[in-house]
Amino acid sequence: MTHSVNRRALMRGAVASALGLSSLSALGAGLASPTATSTTALSAALKGNIHHSVARWTFGFLSIDELCLLVRRLGFSAIDLVGPNDWHILKQHGVNSSMCNGAELNLEDGWGDAKFHKPLIERYQKHIDLVSDAGYKNLICFSGNKRGKDPEEGLKNATKGLKKILAQAEKRGVILQMELFNSKVDHPDYFADNSAWGIELCKRLDSPNFKLLYDIYHMQISEGDIIRTIQNNHQYFGHYHTAGVPGRNEIDDTQELYYPAIVRAIQATGFKGYVAQEFMPRRATDKEKIESLQAAIRICDV
């Protein structure tokens, strides 16, 4: 997850729908109102080995209603990075909130800096209950920026702060998932810009209710060695995000990552969570962007 301008805008509820539901109808027969037959047929076409999802912010040209209709039409039923205000819409469509958000302050002010702990603890205590009461499981969190602090200080701060909410998360069955970002291109100064830092935090917290959101795009930029990292450390990874490198666009043959092999490696670990598409479609029309999502699902449906 990245592209902070777009992400912040979505988190603040500032992304407006660019299309009405009628516009989806024009993209293909049955898309705006998928019948049980059409959805079942597409679901059957997927292998069922991978739980697919898509990040809300990357398809902000669709309303949340439209995106729910689209994912059901494409044969899966989960959307990442949806907050409490829109959960009722997901439930109307039978779509899961596969990675909840809304508890974070922003992407820069996070758990690695103790001065943000008080508001973070208050917000996460509230949202842990909201997530659990809604029947969801995953809640995203962020390390935030260093601001001159060394990695060890950030680890100590994050450990101390997160321990104050972990007991509640364990009791309510909510998994806190800290996303790994790159600091080379997208998120300068971010603490959790490498898998080793995040894994050490997992070890210090020693809880099944704290995991890492392993963003493949970000970690390819930061450190590469994606498949071996997944094979050796999969027990710490609770969720995956995709995007192409370079550019974080479609995961096709224009970029350097080969996602079928990566997703097969994820599947081989016994992973039962979600692999969420988080690429920014570079194609021109809304119809082409939707086709990009369908293609990405097929690429990752190993």
User: Tell me, what CATH number does 80's domain have?
Assistant: 3.20.20.150
| Inter-residue long-range contacts of 56-59, CB under 8 Å, 24+ positions, other chains counted | 56/10, 56/80, 56/81, 56/82, 57/1, 57/3, 57/6, 57/7, 57/10, 57/15, 57/81, 58/6, 58/277, 58/278, 58/279, 58/280, 58/281, 59/281, 59/289, 59/293
Q: What is the pLDDT of residues 36-47, one digit of tens each?
A: 334 444 445 899
The total of structural domains in the chain comes to 1
The gap between the terminal CA atoms of the chain, to the nearest Å, is 23
Mean pLDDT of the region 86-95: 98
Q: What is the pLDDT of residues 158-185, one digit of tens each?
A: 999 999 999 999 999 999 999 999 999 9
Report whether pLDDT(190) > 50.
Answer: yes
- Expressed as residue numbers, the domain containing 244 is 4-300
Residue whose C-alpha is closest to residue 39's, from 4, 82, 78, 77 = 77
Burial pattern 180-192, b for ≥16 Cβ within 10 A else e, equals bbbbebbbeebbb
Average pLDDT, the chain: 89
Task: State how far Cα 207 lies from the chain centre.
Answer: 20
Q: To which H or E segment does residue 55 belong?
A: strand 51-55
Q: What is the pLDDT of residues 58-77, one digit of tens each?
A: 999 999 999 999 999 999 99
What is the bridge-based pairing of β-strands 138-141 and 51-55? unpaired
Q: What is the pLDDT of residues 203-213, one digit of tens each?
A: 999 999 999 99
Of 138 and 25, which is predicted with more confidence?
138
Q: What is the pLDDT of residues 255-290, one digit of tens each?
A: 999 999 999 999 999 999 999 999 999 988 999 999
Task: State how far Cα 258 lies from the chain centre.
Answer: 19
Residue 93, class by beta-carbon neighbours within 10 Å (0-12 exposed, 13-18 middle, 19+ buried)?
A: middle
The per-residue pLDDT for 230 is 98
CA dist 137 and 98 (Å) reads 7
Neighbours of 101 (CB within 10 A): 24
Q: Which amino acid is at 197?
A: W
Q: Are 42 and 36 in contact, with CB atoms under 8 Å apart?
A: no
Q: How many CA atoms lie less than 13 Å away from 242 in the CB half-sphere?
A: 27
What is the bridge-based pairing of β-strands 210-215 and 96-100? unpaired
Q: Are 142 and 107 in contact, with CB atoms under 8 Å apart?
A: yes
The per-residue pLDDT for 24 is 52
